[in-house]
Amino acid sequence: MERSERARQDEPPRPYWSPTESRRERATLTRFLRANGRDPRDYAGAHAWSVDDLEGFWGAVATFADVRFGSPPERVLGRAEMPGAVWFPGATVSYPEHMLPAGREDDAPAIVHASEVRPGVGSWSRGELRAAAARIRAGLLAHGVREGDRVAAYLPNIPETVAAFVATASIGAIWSSVAPELGEPAVIDRIGQLEPKVLLAVDGYCYNGRDVDRRESGERIAGEVGARLVRFGYLDGSGWEAGFERDGPLTFARVPFDHPLWILFSSGTTGLPKAIVHSHGGMLLEHLKLVHLQLDAQAGDRVFWFTTTAWMMWNFLVAVLLTDAAIVLYDGSPGHPDLGALWALAEQTRTTVFGASAAYLGTCAKDGVHPAQGRDLSALHAVGSTGSPLPPEAFDWVADELGADTWLFSTSGGTDVCSAFVGGVPTLPVYRGELQAPALGAALEAFDEDGRSLVGQVGELVLTKPMPCMPVRFWNDDAPPGSPPDAIGPRYREAYFSTYPGVWRHGDWIELTERGTAIISGRSDATINRGGVRIGTSEIYRAVLVEDDVLDALVVDVPGRPRFDGGWMPLFLVLREGAVLDAELTARIRRRIREDCSPRHVPHELHAVADVPRTLSGKLLEIPVKRILAGAEPDTVVRRETLANPDALEPFVELARGWRAQASGPLPSGGAPSPS
């Protein structure tokens, strides 16, 4: 794979942020490494141990975090081949038991919450969470829910949803949540695959100051999927329907290590979403490692991440309750009444770790938001970013606005593993525009087309060894008749192991630097190859978003357009209010792409649009837009119900219609190729 031609600084990079000595000493990672005879200052060595000795490392995580096994494991790793690795064979365990273990103080804080529906800031203690989960558990049992049954939740990001998850998992039933922002077809596409026994459905929600009624939606969805409906009155304040909550103890069924915990869904933008099954034990071990060692959540912390219940970051946020930290939930729009709303929440809740999508942080920077202006954010010591690559300019904005001593960690992983492969390390420096390091236990490499490992060059993000958090299977993805009982389903194998047999291919471009840091360049299926020079779309966005007048961007490379040798490459820009895509701005953008990326990646055309389409988790719809512009019918490549802003798709649909209507004529907007 060819090295990208983006411009490199001549001088050696300097750390954007470095941990203080006291911060290193306080880190849980430091205590963990010392407890296992490792040098806390040698993260590279610790990482090598974690992937060279999988049994030793994951066994050490289980011991350090005091995992409560019902039946002890026969060993840590029974089978190491991928796909089909077998972790902790013979063990039984309960994920939610480790959120609310016996002996943890009931008056300790668990959840701080706010929303557009409920005024002010509320809080739940660990004891209140335990009591709520016990009542819901008894209600689910009364509705016939048993181990292995599916419980679907059409609920917002509120404490009652966390309690419902704890209750479901405590029985050994399987949890799956979708956000009430999703329309009925998108919800049915997802939970309809699972044949849930019960649907927990909200009466509505509030977004941008507007109430959205979901009462009839819940009834129709339950009827379509054959589930028993349990209503939750959120807008009207009535709570769980009369008679649902009951008295009963909160006990935890310890199930086999690979027993399903929850089912997450792929975005579903281009077809029926994949139903990804994660296990109690796999998620428990991975999340204990993630929240203790990589996130460094500790007693006194209050961890916030802006998310909905449809995104894996909700599951990650709930996982913080595996530590002594509290979590901060918010249900509503991040921009209501303005983009300062979440920063105001951080002040009110004394948030210590503030997490959001890269798109949100980038928008705050572009819109001139000043989080600390008039607010006391002195409790805040870390900012997390995920969802898409974080541009270098956003690093500068965080330092300028929140202080150079704020730890900014950018992470990359996915719904497929409900975790991060690469990202935060509390004891390492941060370099501008880069992710700190591969996560412990992640045998992360960059591969070329022939499966050769690369350093200092862009390649396919792969994992050469298994992790406990890899899915146990896809739902309804059965192996062919006559296969062994433990055979892997064809969709699962095709999704991750068809490119490099025995190696997990994730679908992202990544560069691992000589320093051990990483740079994510976007999805590998969205790569733009111009004359043999391949770069990720995020590299073009980095160049473009430097312009103050540009708020967002989307670029695609469309094959088969006449007059454009090697494909037609338009760039779509969302401009600041009052800005105009005139000749001067166009020339600046073209020049910057030429200098920062390559002359071959200067777009053929630039178009101004009101918005660019994104999924509910903030990801750009590059591939669906590319296919629409190439002539595909929109309804065959994207489901509008899965989009955060479905109206943003319409300009691209209209452009494609216009071009099809005049296929033999000239392209609009002066489509002359730019010189290379």
Q: Which of 309, 287, 272 minimizes the C-alpha distance to 160?
A: 309
Query: Residue 355 above 90 pLDDT?
Result: yes
Q: What is the pLDDT of residues 273-302, one digit of tens each?
A: 889 999 999 999 999 999 999 999 999 999
Q: Which of 62-76, 232-246, 490-504, 622-636 has the lowest mean pLDDT?
A: 622-636
Take residue 490 and report the two structure tokens written for it.
Answer: 């064809």
Average pLDDT over residues 235-241: 97
Give the pLDDT of residue 535: 66
Percent of the chain with pLDDT over 70: 91
Output the 3-class SS for 155-190.
CCCCHHHHHHHHHHHHHCCEEEEECCCCCHHHHHHH
What values do phi and psi take at 392, rounded to 5? -55, -35
Give the pLDDT of residue 671: 36
Take residue 308 and report the two structure tokens written for it.
Answer: 């909905």
Q: What is the DSSP secondary structure assignment for residue 672, as one 8-state letter?
A: P
What is the average pLDDT value for the chain, to the nearest integer? 89
The per-residue b/e assignment along 528-551, b for 16 or more CB within 10 angstroms, e otherwise, is bebeebbbbbbbbbbbbbebebbb
Q: Give the right CATH number for 527-661 from 2.40.110.10, 3.40.50.920, 3.40.190.10, 3.30.300.30.
A: 3.30.300.30
Query: Residue 267 above 60 pLDDT?
Result: yes
pLDDT band at 449 (very low <50, low <70, confident <90, very high): confident
Q: What is the pLDDT of residues 469-515, one digit of tens each?
A: 999 999 999 887 777 767 789 999 999 999 999 999 998 888 999 99
Q: Which of 148-152, 221-225, 636-640 has the lowest mean pLDDT?
A: 636-640
Query: Residue 230 above 90 pLDDT?
Result: yes
- Rounded to whole angstroms, the maximal C-alpha distance in the chain is 75
Give the pLDDT of residue 669: 39
Take residue 487 and report the two structure tokens written for it.
Answer: 């055979």
Cβ atoms of residues 204 and 180 within 8 Å: yes
d(CA 612, CA 593): 20
Domain ranges of the chain: 21-333+411-477+488-510, 527-661
d(CA 5, CA 595): 9
Which run of H or E residues covers position 657? Answer: helix 650-661
Distances in whole angstroms, Cα of residue 672 to Cα of each of 322, 338, 568, 626, 667: 57, 40, 10, 19, 9
d(CA 616, CA 207): 14
Alpha helix segments (H runs only) across 320-430: 341-349, 358-366, 392-402
Which positions ≥6 away from 222 have C-beta within 8 Å? Answer: 199, 201, 228, 229
Give the pLDDT of residue 634: 83
d(CA 459, CA 454): 7
Take residue 400 and report the two structure tokens written for it.
Answer: 């300028």
Q: Which of 263-277, 309-323, 422-436 has the lowest mean pLDDT?
A: 263-277
Answer with the residue of higher pLDDT: 650 or 168: 168
Give the pLDDT of residue 58: 98
Query: Residue 523 above 60 pLDDT?
Result: yes
Q: What is the pLDDT of residues 185-195, one digit of tens each?
A: 778 888 999 99
Q: Which of 3-7, 36-40, 622-626 has the lowest mean pLDDT?
A: 3-7
Helix axis angle, 280-289 to 54-64, nearest 10°: 80
Q: Are strands 260-265 and 382-386 parallel, antiparallel or unpaired?
A: unpaired
Q: What is the DSSP secondary structure assignment for residue 649, as one 8-state letter?
A: G
d(CA 232, CA 213): 12
Give the pLDDT of residue 414: 87
Average pLDDT over residues 563-581: 82
Query: Class of the 21-333+411-477+488-510 domain?
Result: alpha beta
Q: Which of 527, 551, 525 minimizes the C-alpha distance to 540?
A: 527
Q: Which of 239, 241, 234 minimizes the C-alpha distance to 115?
A: 234
Give the pLDDT of residue 77: 97
Give the pLDDT of residue 440: 98
